[in-house]
Amino acid sequence: MLMASSQIAERGIEHVDILSARRPQWKSPFFLDLKSRISTAFDKNIGVDILSQIKEATATVTDTIATAHRGIMDLKVEIEVGFRKNPTRMDALLILLGYNKLPKKNTTQAGYVNMLQTLKSNLTPEVKTELVQAGANPTAIDTLLQQAVQLIEANDRQESLKVNRKTVNSVNVEELNDIYDEVISVCKLVSTYFADNKVLVDQFNFTNALKAQGYVPSVKKTNPTTPPTK
pTM of the model: 0.51
Contacts of 6 (CB under 8 A, 6+ apart): 35, 38, 39, 42
Burial 185-224 (b: 16+ CB within 10 A, else e): ebbebbbebbeeeeebbebbbbbbbbeebbbeeeeeeeeb
CB 98 within 8 A of CB 117: yes
Residue by residue, pLDDT tens for the chain (230 residues) are: 788 899 999 999 999 999 999 999 999 999 999 999 988 887 776 555 566 677 788 888 889 999 999 999 999 999 999 999 999 999 999 999 999 888 877 788 888 999 999 999 999 999 999 999 999 999 999 999 999 999 988 888 877 776 655 444 455 677 888 899 999 999 999 999 999 999 999 999 998 888 887 665 444 444 544 454 44
Q: Which of 204, 199, 212 is closest to 188 using CA atoms? A: 204
Phi, psi of 226, rounded to the nearest 5 degrees: -130, 140
CB 117 within 8 A of CB 155: no
